[in-house]
Amino acid sequence: MSQKKSPRFELRSGNVDALLLALKTADIDALRDDLLSRFESTPDFFSNDVVALDLRRLEGDSPLALDRVIDTLSTLRARAIGVVARDDQRSWAEAFGLPLLESQSRRGGRDEAAPPVPTAAAKAADTPESTAAEAPPVNGTASDIAEIMAAAAAPRAVPTLLIDKPLRSGQQIYAQGDVVILDLVSYGAEVIAEGNIHIYAPLRGRALAGVKGNPDARIFCTCLEPELISIAGIYRTAEQTLPADVLGKSAQVRLADEKLILEPLRMK
């Protein structure tokens, strides 16, 4: 077969942005109930996202009914694309038809269970001469090249979404970055953001920040009276009475050790 390049397709390495769902229990019924209770009321939370199933935190090597996990994710509008597993889990994990994947931290570091990632120099050493010869030359100093590479790797900035009208019951806002709301969020309304949520008015509906797994996201509000607040999937509902120092007052919500922290917001 000819090894010449084709004008009709290109095959190259790349990274795909996917959520990592770490499974902590082999009780599939309890797991399904927990997933549905947390996300079924927010149908746009996943919005057709792709998800990798991380099995490494499961105890023992007993098989888990991954087909039921896949079906549950499909119900929530998410699609499983692969499995991250320990060596002792791989034999049964592959039986469900998903490829085995390696995981790397979203913040640039490697997961503890992930193997080392080859350096650029190591990759270059393994590149056949014919392929390496086709790479275009890069001119400039080492610092120039470093700046170019850093700029190419940097994520594109997402503009902040600004809402200056009240959100009525049944309305929903989704922001790919931060969102700033200047009017009332009514009971039954919902604000979902991949970044931070700023509400300079009463929050009486739902606010979900960091929905793509960003634990550093926060919720800021000048009058906190929510039906539900959530950061990176960790949530609290109105059934749990808020502390007196934040209920109906200016406050911020942040995440620490997988627990929501509610603090008064000092407005000076």
- Is residue 229 within 8 A of residue 246, CB to CB? The reply is no
Question: Which 8-state DSSP code applies to residue 119?
Answer: P
Q: Is the pLDDT of residue 105 over 60?
A: no
Can you give the three-state secondary structure of 160-216, one letter per residue?
A: CEEECCCECCCCEEEECCCEEECCCECCCCEEEECCCEEEEEEECCEEEECCCCCCC
Q: In which band, very low, low, confident or very high, does the pLDDT at 190 lie, cut at 50, 70 and 90?
A: very high
Domains in the chain (CATH in brackets) are 19-96 (3.30.70.260), 161-264 (2.160.20.70)
- Residue position matching structure tokens 């913040």: 107
Higher pLDDT, 56 or 267: 56
Q: In which band, very low, low, confident or very high, does the pLDDT at 152 lie, cut at 50, 70 and 90?
A: low
CA distances from 178 to 120, 159, 236, 261 (A): 34, 8, 21, 19
Q: Is the pLDDT of residue 225 over 90?
A: yes
pLDDT in tens, 44-91: 667 677 888 899 988 766 788 899 999 998 888 888 888 898 888 888
- Is residue 196 within 8 A of residue 189, CB to CB? The reply is no
* CB-neighbour burial class of residue 58 (10 A; exposed 0-12, middle 13-18, buried 19+): middle
Nearest in space to 174 (alpha carbons), one of 21, 34, 36, 43: 43
How many helices (DSSP H) and strands (DSSP E) are in the chain? 6, 14
